[in-house]
Structures are given as structure tokens and as C-alpha cells.
Amino acid sequence: MTLRTDEFDYELPTASIAQRPAAPRESARLLDCRGMDDRHFFELPGMLDEGDLVVLNTTKVRAARLRGTRDSGGAVEVLLLSENVDGEWEALIRPARRVRPGLRLLFGTANAIVLERPESGRTMLRFDEDVEKLAGEVGEMPLPPYITAPLADPSEYQTVFAKELGSAAAPTAGLHFSTGVLAEFADRGVDVASIDLQVGVDTFRPIAEETIDAHRMHSERFVVPPETATAFEMTKRRGGKVVAIGTTVVRALESAVADGRLRPGPASTELFIRPGYRFGAVDAVVTNFHVPRSTLIVLVAALVGEMRWKHIYETALERGYRFLSFGDAMFAERA
């Protein structure tokens, strides 16, 4: 069955887009979709059962936005996306119309050479110094364009459990966690494990094609630690739920599962979860409210049902929930 992209659209008022994170983090609202109850995020540990497994994405957001100049004059802004095996960087550049192979970009004492511009509109760059060092010194957090308020602190766009540097965007469902919430899972006998998926900017973009089948899914790299694979197997064996914190975790776990077991190690995924998909790993998800017509909405629809997701979103809007990256969250079990 072919599904039109407009079936995953909804009206999102500008006033519903959160510009600041909740303070404190765990005070964000949480819609419990099992009975459509209004809760707060700090109540999540009490909503789970002893023996359940919570899986986090411990990726760390790179300060990936670099501001510099072209050697020919004029300001330029670069958003770093990922590094390839040759040490070259894929990036988005603004303004793009004057970008050409051989152009030199200047970032203080650091230089970058434009190598090519693929048909995707992205640009390959080669830097003359360590990029992670450069980003750490002069880079800015790559906030989504719908967030116009400046950060009070860069840590606001970083989870409290972030470890491995590599993402161009935050795994936003994880932003609601505090150390206190994490400690309460242990007190209640709920296990916590992790994966690392490097989040790209394509994750949040709306689908441009008329049908979702025509959409080409982006690729993301992830790692499943051996201890997470073991925790997954033990949870399934004792009948516990696997609760994914965010769509990035859903995508990683579903890509790594085979015959009921989770394969540890590094991998990449182009998995596009859509209605009709048969879940093999995840039993429930905690996720924010997403951009209309995005692959994330399609994933939620696959998990809860094609009509159910619309009711959830309509309810959240009616009750004044905050949407998108700094917004509130929902807890939903697999239909």
C-alpha cells in the first residue's frame, strides 16, 4: 500500500514550538499514551516495571557550526556533518551559490579547501588542522533553524549521559534526563543500557516526495556495545519491555536485531520504519513531538498505528504540550 506524505502532516502553530528547554530538565511534560494521561518526565521510572530495559543514545553533539570567510571575501557558515575514511569532511555551506572546487575557507588560523559539491548539494572539505580541536575552540552548537532563541549554556543541547563526540544534532528525547532520574531506574530494578548513533541533520527534515515510498532514507552510523546486547537478551528472556529513548535508539536496535538477538558492534543503517513494519526489538518508546511530514512521524505511526498517532498529536496540541527539540515528550507502547 502506497502512503502519501500528506497523511503524515499536521498543523503546527509557531507558538507550540519550544524555544527553551524545560528547567529543570526532568520537569518537562510527558504524555502517557496508554491512557492519554498527563505526567511529567520525572515520573517515567515509576511508569516502568522491574526487569524492563531502558536504552539511551550516548552520542555527543559536536559544536559543528563554524563561521569564517572565503579567501575571495565574504562571510561563510559551515555545518560539519561527518568525516570519511580519507579525513575529508562532508558539510553544508551557506551561502552555497559561490561554493566551487578549489575555494579556500578561512577560520581564524585554520583553512579548509572545497574539494567537490555532489548532487546532494553537500560539500566535501579538507582541513589543514584537527577539526575536532577547531570545533571545540570556535564552533557553535548546531541548533535546528526553528529554534531562534540563543542558548544560555551549550550544555542545554547536550544530554547528561553524552559520551562519544560525533553528532550534528542531539538525540532530543534524552535531553529530559537528569542524574536523579537515571538513579531512580536502578532503585526500581529497571536496567539501563546504551547505543551510540551519530545523529545527522537529515533525521529532522520533512519528506519532499509525494509518497513515503519514494523517499530515500539517509544513512547513519551506530555502535551496539556487547553489554547492551547481553542486557537485551536477558530482558527478552525474562519478559521485560525494551524501552527506546528516542527514535535514534529505535532505528539502531531495529537495525541490529536478527532472529530475536541483538548483534553487537559497529554498523550503519538506512532503515526506514513505516506503517506495516514488524518490530523485532523495541516494545515502547519515549520520544518528543516531531516536525510534520518527517520520517520520525512515519516511525511513530508505524509503532502506534496510522490513526493513533494523529489522535496523540491532536491531544498534545490541545493540552498545550511543547513541540520539537526542546519540547515535551510522549511515552507509547507498540500497538
Among 138, 160, 187, identify where a domain stops: 138
What integer pLDDT is reported at residue 120 of this predicted model? 64
CATH code of residue 31 = 3.40.1780.10
Residue 249: what pLDDT?
Answer: 98
pLDDT of residue 96: 81
- 244 closest CA partner among 61, 57, 30: 57
Nearest to 285 by CA among 231, 247, 256, 322: 247
Low-confidence winner among 54-68, 104-118, 187-201, 229-243 (lowest mean pLDDT): 104-118
Query: 117 versus 173: which is more confidently predicted?
Result: 173
% of the chain surpassing 70 pLDDT? 99
In a domain, 188, yes or no: yes
143 in a structural domain? no
Q: DSSP 3-state assignment of 90?
A: strand
Residue pLDDT, tens place only, 117-131: 766 678 999 999 999
Let me know if residue 303 belongs to a domain.
Answer: yes
Residues 155, 117 within the same domain: no
pLDDT digits 0-9 by tens, 286-333: 999 999 999 999 999 999 999 999 999 999 999 999 999 999 999 999
Determine contact, residues 18/322, Cβ cutoff 8 Å.
yes
Q: Name the grid cell of 25.
A: 530538565
pLDDT confidence tier of residue 170, bands split at 50, 70 and 90: very high
State how far the Cα of 98 lies from the Cα of 120, in Å rounded to an integer. Answer: 16
The residue range of the domain holding 42 is 5-61+151-333
DSSP assignment of 28-66, as one string? SEEEETTTTEEEEGGGHHHHS-TT-EEEEE-EEE---EE
- pLDDT for res 119: 61
Whether 299 and 204 map to the same domain: the answer is: yes
Q: Give the number of domains in the chain.
A: 2
Distance of CA 151 to the CA centre of its chain: 19
- Domain harbouring 119, CATH code: 2.40.10.240
Domain presence at residue 145: no
Q: How far apart are CA 335 and CA 318, in angstroms?
A: 23
109, 138, 167 - which closes a domain:
138
Q: Is the domain of 110 the same as that of 207?
A: no
